[in-house]
Structure 1
């Protein structure tokens, strides 16, 4: 499970770098918050979860870990697309649906991660 998280995080690294270059060359700096979320929640947090699950394999193989994986990786793209919708002309309700739906999914995923870590991560010494 850890390797899946790490591979997905590398995809977010490519996306955040490409998005940053887009912002730079078009001088469209209003996307800064979205860019930061792609980097921190997409690249760093996803990669860190992958490292934890690579070290603590018992935690990575639970039903909580699988539910967390799917909630996070379905919710995060919705959240990020919703954040981009703020700056383009879409109905407010649609933007709110993407941001709220994605954000709730990611938040629930983090809650599952919290429970999973405290339940299954044991000291190795």
Structure 2
């Protein structure tokens, strides 16, 4: 499995654990005010990261490109900024942290645009396994 796929899957599992924790916290406390943050943790953190990992696993030539790791780093940094801030804003009532949520959201959006570039661009790296014996 390509390294970027492995990283996306491992990161996805971390977000899954955090999402389950947020859900349990809401259920135990009876305060469901942070449910949008819980949904974002699960959808953007767990599901979308896992989908990115799957895409790169199915497209190893694209996973081998440097831009794939840039995508991973940018997306992960965006989530690390946005999701805890969103949770604090909704659960803790820290409305002053909204600009941090916005900044993280913009980073995530930029990472999604990088992914779109990866998807729509041709793979510039050919793996040795894809080369015919005559070209090796």
**TM above 0.5, one fold?**
yes
Deviates more, 1:48-57 or 1:10-19: 10-19
Matched, 1:73 2:66: no
- Listed as ranges, the gaps of 5+ residues in structure 1 are none
Of residues 62, 83, 86 in structure 2, which corresponds to 1:83?
Answer: 86
* Aligned residues of 1:81 and 1:98 also touching (Cα < 8 A): no
1:108 alignment counterpart: 110
- Structure 1 residue ranges, 4+ long, deviating more than 6 angstroms after superposition: none
Matched, 1:37 2:40: yes
Query: How many pairs does the alignment contain?
Result: 120
Question: Cα gap change, 1:44/1:83 in structure 2, threshold over 3 Å: closer, same or farther?
Answer: same
**Partner deviation per Cα, 1:77-100 (whole Å, 9 max, x = no partner):** 1111221232325462xx133111
Determine the C-alpha separation between the residues in 2 that align with 1:45 and 1:73.
Answer: 11
* Aligned residues of 2:68 and 2:118 also touching (Cα < 8 A): yes
**TM-score using structure 2 length:** 0.82
Q: Kindly report the root-mean-square deviation, in angstroms, between the aligned alpha carbons of the 2 structures.
A: 1.6
1:118 alignment counterpart: 120
* Aligned residues of 1:76 and 1:102 also touching (Cα < 8 A): yes
2:17 alignment counterpart: 14
**TM-score using structure 1 length:** 0.88
Matches within 5 A, 1:54-73: 54-73=57-76
Determine the C-alpha separation between the residues in 2 that align with 1:91 and 1:16.
Answer: 21
